[in-house]
């Protein structure tokens, strides 16, 4: 089963001074308010955050519902914007897989893959013995997931008191927090190149194809950054 | 309306979980010291950077009503705060929300 010590160690990591809890919570407050304005009830809003737990995907779903898109359109639109979760998972789970751990932990805990938890794990995994990393990860994921659910709950009931300017303030919090975290993670030539190329290519590819822009920007930028890093090492 | 909302939530969660689950399946054959792992690491950072840039420059939702000027000022000022505060994440994050709420009414 899950090692309690490492689970709670991970869970408490969101209490750190530079934790993403505040930014994450505020963004889901905005999501909660948005869902209420779209006609969701409290159960549906909480259900949405619990099952999806990916902010851009929730936003795309909300926008799609607003324009009356079909279920297939919603699926494709969300898949395009959330396909980033695939490379994020592949770049994290090999660090946590251990022969003594059951596979169900990996299948269950992949639901916690999101930018905030991913960045916390990436900056802390070296301090945890490999065998216990998955339990530490489940702790981090449970904490960020709980924060998101609480944020949605607060946002739903606070929506009547939030004007448009306040909603804009809440909406900018998350990209600014992630931008600072990404800049803070730029410690090797590969990561520096990957972040800068992604920031440049994402918007450029938007003019070619808005749906594919994130994936193309990431694929092209990441591949160039990989070769820059390999050449630099050689 | 309620049925379509529940279906939309289920469809959204399936579209999201599929990427995560496929990622775990793929991870089973990848060693953390391999070149493939390093490539995926670069892809992950680059894709996240592309997402952040798109969220700020071409946002969906309420942020799309904020002007380019106000978003640009907030981003540049918050990066400035990030560097002068010795890479503290909290100050620029909190300041970004206050600045955007104040600027969006005027710019």
What is the separation of C-alpha A182 from the centre of its chain, rounded to a whole number of angstroms? Answer: 13
Predicted confidence (pLDDT) per residue in A6-26, tens digit: 999 999 988 887 777 888 888
In contact, B20 and A85? CB cutoff 8 Å: yes
Q: Residue B29: pLDDT band by 50, 70, 90 thresholds? A: confident
The predicted model gives A216-224 an average pLDDT of: 95
Q: Count helices and strands (H / E) in chain A.
A: 12, 0
- Please tell me if residue B42 touches chain A, with a CB cutoff of 8 Å: yes
Q: Which of residues 1-20 of B touch A (CB under 8 A)?
A: 1-2, 4-20
Nearest chain B residue to A119 by CA: give it.
Answer: B45
pLDDT value for A7: 95
Domains of chain A by residue range: 4-173, 186-234
Residue B75 CA to residue A185 CA, distance in Å, equals 18
ipTM of model: 0.88
How high is the pLDDT of residue A63? Answer: 79
> pLDDT digit string (tens) for A21-66?
888 888 889 889 888 988 899 999 999 999 999 888 888 888 788 7
Question: Which candidate in B49, B65, B92, B107 is best for mutational testing of the A interface (most A CBs within 10 A)?
Answer: B49
Question: What confidence tens digit (pLDDT) does each residue in B36-87 have?
Answer: 999 999 999 999 999 899 989 998 778 888 899 999 999 999 999 999 998 8
Q: State pLDDT tens for residues A120-172.
A: 898 889 999 999 999 999 999 999 999 999 999 999 999 888 888 888 888 88
Task: Give B53 or A68, the one with higher predicted confidence.
Answer: B53
pLDDT digits (tens, 9 = 90+) for A187-217: 899 999 999 999 999 999 999 988 889 889 9
Interface subset of A 190-219, CB within 8 angstroms of B: 190-191, 193-203, 205-206, 210, 213-215, 217-219
For all residues of chain A together, what is the average pLDDT?
90
Question: Percent of chain A at pLDDT above 90?
Answer: 55
The verdict on B101 touching A (C-beta cutoff 8 Å) is yes
SS3 assignment, position A207: coil
When CB atoms are compared, the residue of B61, B90, B98 closest to A59 is B61
Residue A96's φ and ψ, nearest 5 degrees, are: -110, -10
DSSP code string of B10-64: HHHHHHHHHHHHHHHHHHTT--TTSHHHHHHHHHHHHHHHHHHHHHHHS--GGGG
Is the pLDDT at A81 greater than 80? The verdict is: yes
Q: Which of A113, A172, A221 sits opposite B46 (nearest CB)?
A: A221
């Amino acid at each position: 089963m899950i090692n309690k010590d490492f689970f709670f160690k991970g869970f408490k990591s969101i209490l750190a001074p530079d934790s993403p809890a505040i930014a994450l919570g505020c963004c889901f407050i905005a999501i909660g308010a948005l869902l209420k304005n779209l006609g969701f009830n409290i159960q549906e809003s909480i259900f949405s955050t619990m099952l999806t737990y990916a902010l851009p995907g929730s936003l795309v779903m909300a926008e799609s519902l607003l324009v009356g898109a079909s279920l297939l359109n919603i699926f494709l639109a969300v898949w395009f914007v959330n396909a980033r979760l695939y490379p994020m998972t592949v770049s994290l789970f090999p660090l946590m897989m251990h022969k003594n751990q059951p596979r169900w932990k990996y299948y269950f805990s992949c639901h916690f893959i999101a930018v905030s938890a991913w960045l916390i794990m990436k900056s802390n995994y070296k301090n945890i013995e490999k065998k216990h990393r998955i339990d530490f990860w489940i702790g981090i994921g449970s904490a960020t997931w709980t924060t998101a659910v609480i944020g949605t709950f607060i946002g739903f009931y606070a929506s009547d008191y939030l004007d448009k300017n306040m909603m804009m303030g809440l909406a900018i919090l998350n990209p600014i927090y992630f931008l600072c975290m990404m800049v803070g993670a730029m410690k090797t030539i590969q990561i520096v190149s990957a972040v800068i190329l992604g920031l440049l290519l994402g918007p450029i590819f938007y003019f070619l194809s808005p749906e594919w822009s994130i994936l193309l920007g990431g694929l092209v930028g990441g591949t160039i950054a990989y070769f820059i890093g390999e050449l630099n090492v050689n | 309306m309620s049925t379509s909302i529940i279906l939309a939530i289920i469809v959204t969660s399936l579209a999201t979980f599929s990427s995560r689950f496929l990622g775990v399946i793929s991870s089973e054959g990848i060693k953390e010291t391999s070149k493939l792992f390093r490539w995926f690491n670069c892809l992950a950072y680059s894709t996240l950077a592309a997402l952040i840039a798109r969220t700020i420059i071409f946002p969906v939702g309420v942020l799309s009503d904020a002007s380019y000027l106000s978003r640009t000022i907030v981003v540049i000022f918050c990066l400035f705060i990030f560097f002068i505060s010795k890479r503290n994440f909290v100050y620029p994050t909190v300041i970004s929300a206050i600045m955007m709420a104040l600027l969006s009414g005027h710019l």
